[in-house]
Structure 1
Amino acid sequence: MELVVEDLIKKGLEHSYSYEAYRALVSELAEKNESTGPEQSEALSQYTQLNNSRMRRWDKTLKFSDEAVTKIKSVNQKILWVVISESWCGDASPALPVMNKITKINPNISLSIILRDENLDIMNQFLTNGGMSIPKLIAIDKKDDTVVATWGPRSIKATKLVEDYKTAHGLLTPEFKQDLQGFYNKDKGQSILEDLLLLLDN
C-alpha cells in the first residue's frame, strides 16, 4: 500500500536536522571539503563552503521590521516547516536563516530540515515544474498533521529574475548565478520574508 504524503514526511522526519544541527553539518563538511549527498565533487564542496559562509553572515545580519515581527508573533496555531535542502544549494543559503529567525520569534512555528537525496520519495511529491528544485518548504498544520502550503525554491522576486533570464538566454549561466547571489545580498532576505509572511496567512 502506498504511503500518503503526510506519512512519508513523518518517516523522513526520523532523520531530520534542527537548524543548529544542519548548520553544524554544513560547517563540518565545508572544513572537510565535502558536501551532502551521494555525489561528491570539487564544485559541490566549493558551493558548500560558500553557503556555509553566507549562512553565517545571514545569521548575524538579518533584520526584520517591527511590522513583520508583529505578524509573526500573531500566529497562534502550531505549524511545522519541513524544508528539503542540501549543503551545496545556493538558494537555500539565504532562505534557511530567514526561516530560522521566524521560528525564533514565534515558537508555534518549528523548523526541521531533511536532505533531498535521502528523501527522494518526499521530494517527488513536491516538484517544481517537474524538477527536484530545492529548497522546498512544506508547511504542516500540527493540529491534524496535514500539508497546508508549500514554498520554494526561490522568492517570487528571485523566481521572476530566473524566468526572465531563461526566456532570454535559455540556460542559467554561472555568471547569472553570481548575479542572483548579488540580488540576495542586496535584498537582505526581505523578499523571502515577504513570501513567508503570506504563507503564514494560510
Structure 2
Amino acid sequence: MGFVTLQHQKAVMKYIIEKSLSQSYSYADYRNQIKNLLKEGKSTGNEQSEALTHYSELNETRMNRLEKTIVVADEYVQKLQQLKREYIWLVISEGWCGDSAQIVPVIYKMAQVSPKVELKLVFRDENDDLMKLFLTNGTRSIPKLIVLDKNTLEVLGEFGARPIGAKQLILDYKAQHGVVDDKGKTALHMWYLHDKGLSIQKEIMELMARLELE
C-alpha cells in the first residue's frame, strides 16, 4: 500500500511540474512580464497594493544593477561548463519579492554559463500546487530553485528561499526586534550588496556537486 501511495505521490508531483513548466517563462520573458505590469501600475501576483507595486519598482532597479555587476566566480564557471547531466532549473518567484530580486539574477548568470542548464521561471501565485510542494518551514517563501533532471523531470534538489547568511540575519533580527520592519529589510539588502552573490553561488554549486556524484 505504501508503495502504491509513493508511486501516486510521484505521479502527482510530475504532473504538477509538467503543468508548471508548460506555463513557465524564460528569464527575459519573466522580466518583461514584470515590466509590462508595472506600466499598468500593477505588480505580479494575486494581491495588488501600492506597497507591492513600490517594491516591484525598487526590485526592477536592483535587478538591472545586478545583471550588470554580478560575476560568476571562475571556479564555478569551470564546474558549470563541465556538468555531465542535463538539468532544468525551475524557479518560483514574484516581481515584488526583495529576495527574488537579489537571487534570481545570480541564478540567471549561473545558468547562462552552462550548456547543461536550462532556466525556467514561474510566478508563485499562478502555480500554487507547485509552491505547496516546496514550502519552507510551512511557508510559501520565495524564491525557490528546484533542480530537475531534464530528461525525466525528477526533482533532484532545491535551494532557497535565502542563502544561509541572509537567513541567519533575519532570524537574529526577529529575535531582537520581534518583527522584520523596514530597518530589518534594509539590513538584509545591505547583506546581499556586500555578499555580491557569492553565498548564493556557493550553496547552489554545493548542491550541484552532490547531484553530479549521484
Is 1:131–2:139 an aligned residue pair? yes
Instruction: Determine which of 199, 206, 209 is the counterpart of 1:198.
Output: 206
| 1:122 aligned counterpart, secondary structure | helix
Is 1:56–2:75 an aligned residue pair? no
Structure 1 consecutive aligned stretches of length 4 or more whose deviation exceeds 4 Å: none
* Fraction of identical pairs, as percent: 42
Is 1:176–2:184 an aligned residue pair? yes
Letter in 1 for 2:94: E
- The residue aligned with 2:4 is none
Aligned 8 A contact 2:42 2:53 in 1 = yes
The runs of 5 or more residues in structure 1 that have no matched partner are: none
C-alpha distance after superposition, 1:1-21 (max 9, x if no partner): 875212101111111110010
Letter in 2 for 1:77: R
Alpha-carbon deviation of 1:56? 0.7
- Larger CA Rg, structure 1 vs 2: 2
The runs of 5 or more residues in structure 2 that have no matched partner are: 1-7
- The residue aligned with 1:120 is 128
Aligned 8 A contact 1:26 1:35 in 2 = yes
Instruction: Determine which of 37, 40, 45 is the counterpart of 1:37.
Output: 45
Q: Distance in 2 between matches of 1:33 and 1:193?
A: 33
Letter in 2 for 1:168: Q
C-alpha distance after superposition, 1:70-92 (max 9, x if no partner): 12112121011111111101000
Letter in 2 for 1:20: A
Instruction: Determine which of 93, 96, 109 is the counterpart of 1:88.
Output: 96
Q: Distance in 2 between matches of 1:111 and 1:64?
A: 16
Letter in 1 for 2:70: L
CA RMSD of aligned residues (A): 1.4
Instruction: Determine which of 144, 149, 167 is the counterpart of 1:141.
Output: 149
**Deviates further, 81-90 or 28-37:** 28-37
Instruction: Determine which of 68, 75, 84 is the counterpart of 1:76.
Output: 84
TM superposition score normalised by structure 2: 0.90
Report the count of equivalent residues. Answer: 202
- The residue aligned with 2:109 is 101
Q: Distance in 2 between matches of 1:182 and 1:85?
A: 21
Q: Distance in 1 between matches of 2:159 and 2:175?
A: 22
C-alpha distance after superposition, 1:25-82 (max 9, x if no partner): 1222233321011211000001111111111111111112221211211212101111
| 1:199 aligned counterpart, secondary structure | helix
